[in-house]
Amino acid sequence: MSDVELTNVQRRTLERLIGSEERPTFPPDLTQRLRDRIEGAVRGLDLTDVLWLGKEKLNDHGRCEGKYHAAVSRENPPFEHSAKSAAGALLHRAIQAEIGAREEDDPHAMVAFAAERLVEEDPRFADHWRELERLAQDEALMEAVRRIELFRASLPPLRVLRQELTPMTEVPLKAELLGGALVLSGRVDLVLGRPDSTSPSRATRLAIDLKSGGAYPEYPEDMRFYSLLMTLRFGVPPYRVASLFLDSAEWQAEDVDEIVLFHAADRVVAAARSASALAGGREAELRPGAWCGWCPRRLICPASVASG
């Protein structure tokens, strides 16, 4: 590792989360066994349309089949940025610029650059941004500056350590199963590590989701799903997955093993079976909760606890 001066917090993240321990090696046939597990269980299902599953739909399935059925039936309204989602997009684009920059830049300039790029690249962000008054834009930029500074304070300097840690941001992942009838997809905020050319089956990557708020029960399941996606995409799992909370520099982390991966695969199987049964006319098992408030069926569902 390069001779870089670190704060106590940055060193803790480097030593305890990223780590330097011996990485595990996985059997070369693991990816195929995971594919066989999923495809063997869902091959006989009547999937009349391509079924796309990501972390949100899998979480919906765990919460309430009614909300999940609405999602797979494409009843959700078209996505529009909220203040929260736009702030997340701005942070992630700024982190991409932060890590990729040749030299360290002023965080205000970095965030302003990220906003300009997002307006050019993302029409939905552009619509949201242009609707904001100038002072509201400035407020959003300052919030992103705060988060960038928390990011810098939480991790070792990734721009400086690019050669050692090989950071990748906003990593898109997709796995097509059953000839494309079932598609798993996701996007990981941050991936660290490069493949080991001398031992291709050795796990060398760490997957991190960056969080600005508190912990939720779904976060570990999200990361297990990402570990499955990375295994199917790269042919070898990450050695660890984690949700990193920028407000505190604490994390929820889990080392990846076959139990984690097959658990994630079985969640996919359960969601696919549910989608097929619901499409075939089975009544959804309704489980009311806080999620009723953002379900498109909330006003007609007999179990909804959401008010009009």
Domain boundaries along the sequence of the chain: 83-161
Q: What pLDDT is stored for residue 289 in this prediction?
A: 94
pLDDT of residue 238: 98
Q: Consecutive 10-residue runs of the chain (308 residues): their mean pLDDT?
A: 84 96 95 97 87 97 96 92 91 91 84 95 95 95 94 94 93 96 97 94 97 91 98 98 97 98 98 95 94 93 82
Looking at residue 307, its pLDDT comes to: 62
Residue 258: CB atoms within 10 Å: 14
The answer to whether the beta carbons of residues 207 and 227 sit under 8 Å apart is yes
**Alpha helix (H) ranges present in 18-82?**
30-42, 55-63, 65-72
Q: What is the DSSP string of 189-217?
A: EEEE----TT-TTB---EEEEEESS---T
Asked if 96 contacts 122 with a C-beta cutoff of 8 angstroms, the reply is: no
Chain mean position to CA 103? 28
Task: Give the whole-angstrom CA distance, residue 274 versus residue 285.
Answer: 10
Strands (DSSP E) contained in 246-302 are 250-255
Please choose, from the candidates 89, 120, 100, the residue with its C-alpha nearest in 3D space to the C-alpha of residue 166.
Answer: 100
